Structure 1
Amino acid sequence: MAPHIGLARLDSLIPVEVAVAAVASAITELHEGRLEQPPRTVVADGQLLVMSALHRTTRDAVVKTLTIYDIDGSKRIEGTVLWYDGATGLPRFSVEAHRFTALRTGAVSGVATDVLAPERVRRLAILGSGAQAATQLDSCCVVREFEAVSVYSRTLAHAQRFVDEAKVRHPGLRFSVAGSANECVENADVVCCATGATSPLFDLEALPANVHVNAVGSFRPSMTELPAGLIDASTVTVLDDVAGCLEGSGEVRSAIEREFPISDLRSLGAVMESGVERHGRTVFKSVGCAALDWGVGKAIADRLESVVLS
């Protein structure tokens, strides 16, 4: 049996800064055609997801299965990540998928923020208070130095708990709990949306004229976090996986229905290669793709190998 990596060991093996670098490398591998990822399998509007990716040169592969259910009004995510060694074809290790997914999703927002957000920032807004929101905060703080963080959650107690825990990890930041989503984003330089919302979290008019927005919580056409018109009016809209977002992002599909040109949607890998002007409102939308899983899986495999060699 391949060894299973639990939550505590995962965090010790892969700190957030390592995850950000690993995902950046995987996005480049995908853009340059060295990673193969078929469309993910989606069952029952996202209650079951299966994602896989294989590196064409090393043959190292990752397969992730997730189940996502609403239980008593709270979203429960369970699943497993399996890493296959390209040299033997055998499973090398497994990882609990919930924390793994939050880690790689935060990491890709960190990469996007590094590419799209202004170099000098002060205020970060976090909408959401779960595991995904926590890694959004941690990853953005890897690539930019913030002074203040505003947090909004539909449940005040959840937002306060998030802030209390975040202060321990980031003692140099000033945290506040916003009374509304509009209040949360109104002075932000960077906004991170990590919720399961089915309607826009904030009004378009509440956003500053110059702001970078990461949206990672919604992953099915029935879900949306961003206000109508934000993608249409953004300086640039960047996607983790263009095909995946065209199929799974409610925000992107809605913009296309309003005749937003598909050709104006750019992949993160393409923008990393060419660069982009950082001004106005920029948007990064992620529905999650197997390349991100492969990147963190590769980092784990490398770390395990270094432990064996030492």
Structure 2
Amino acid sequence: MRIIGTADADHLLTWTAVTEAIRDAHRLPQAEIGDMLLSRDGRSLLNRGAWIEGLGIALKSVTVYPDNPRRDPPLPSVQGGMLLFDEDSGAPTALVDGILVTKWKTAGDSVLGAKLLARPDSRRLLICGAGTVARTLIPAYGELFPDLEQIILWNRSTDKAEALAAECAGNDIPVTVATELAEAVAAADIVSTATLSKEPFLKGEWLSPGTHVDLIGAFRPDMREADDTLLQRAELFVDSRRTTFGHIGEIQIPLDAGTITPDDVLGDLHDLCAGTAGRSSPDAITAYKNGGGAHLDLMVGALIRRLVEAGDSRG
């Protein structure tokens, strides 16, 4: 069994390659998936398995410890690993660093959703959050949206947003910091949220016509980032109905309250990649919930394994 760490594969990947792998895998039979989430005192153990005919089998286990970055020395908030299995024999073939898979899967999922839903002439991106995911969204959106003219960061702790912006001082696309969220949202073409918020902070009344909203952060049943008005104003899409309905508060809480109905979700990545769903007009507001299911981990993990093995054969 091959052990693949970040140093083995990170340099081999591009956001274009990741989004193409996810798009191509959505042409295969739909995945069989299963999740198990354990939580205690705000910390979580998340286990996700997937089986895609023609691609393979994967099981990813990660811990989410939100306070880890505040340790001395700081630790990643998300840690874990993913096992890949051969579909024919059932034998384990690789153990891949979970941080590596999560990094490329999470942002890759979102930028693919944005590529399929956001207006092609989008010029201004607002990222809410200043943690690990926000850091990866900057190059991901920069690669998939080369016409972006500005990336704006907003975070409840402004100093963290300023520190991340300082890291990006040499970025091809200027990275600045906003202190007034409502104004930043109103001026944005794409709004991407990557926080650990339990309460909605992004208000639908702030959005301008034509905005695309990329909702990443809420991954537990008790978490939300967008308010009811946003979900009601937007044309709503998810990466997978099966991993968001019944699992993620961003969707399930308003479903339970009757704020939205299942029919209000107009499509998922299977529909978007097939071209059977999408934005209705340039002025429509679109919202995409990144649920990050195990099938996406498998798609990215299989790509990582292929690239590493291709490098081995060349070496």
Q: Which runs of 5+ in 2 are unaligned?
A: 71-75
What's the offset of the Cα at 1:68? 1.4
Residues 166, 73 of structure 1: alpha-carbon distance in 2 compared, 3 angstrom cutoff: closer
Partner residue of 1:70? 66
What's the offset of the Cα at 1:175? 1.8
Matched, 1:296 2:297: no
Matched, 1:285 2:289: yes
What's the offset of the Cα at 1:223? 0.7
Residue deviations 1:167-197 (CA, integer Å, cap 9, x gap): 44xx321221011322332200001001101
Partner residue of 1:20? 19
One-letter identity of the residue aligned with 1:192? S
Partner residue of 1:222? 222
Residue deviations 1:91-119 (CA, integer Å, cap 9, x gap): 22222212321210100111111110011
What secondary structure sits across from 2:65 in the alignment?
A: strand
* Aligned counterparts, 1:162-181, within 5 A: 162-168=164-170, 171-181=171-181
Partner residue of 1:201? 201
What's the offset of the Cα at 1:259? 4.3
User: Equivalents in 2 of 1:261, 1:186: separation in Å?
Assistant: 27
* Aligned counterparts, 1:1-310, within 5 A: 2-29=1-28, 34-44=29-39, 47-58=44-55, 60-71=56-67, 76-144=77-145, 145-168=147-170, 171-234=171-234, 236-256=235-255, 257-265=257-265, 266-273=267-274, 274-276=276-278, 277-279=280-282, 280-310=284-314
User: Equivalents in 2 of 1:97, 1:180: separation in Å?
Assistant: 35
Contact 2:191 2:211 in 1 (8 A): yes
One-letter identity of the residue aligned with 1:206? W
What's the offset of the Cα at 1:282? 0.2
What's the offset of the Cα at 1:291? 1.3
One-letter identity of the residue aligned with 2:174? R
What's the offset of the Cα at 1:8? 2.7
What's the offset of the Cα at 1:136? 2.2
Off by >4 Å, runs of 4+ in structure 1: 72-75
Contact 2:15 2:104 in 1 (8 A): yes
One-letter identity of the residue aligned with 1:120? D
- Report the TM-score when normalising by structure 1: 0.90
- Report the TM-score when normalising by structure 2: 0.88
Residues 121, 71 of structure 1: alpha-carbon distance in 2 compared, 3 angstrom cutoff: closer
User: Equivalents in 2 of 1:271, 1:21: separation in Å?
Assistant: 13
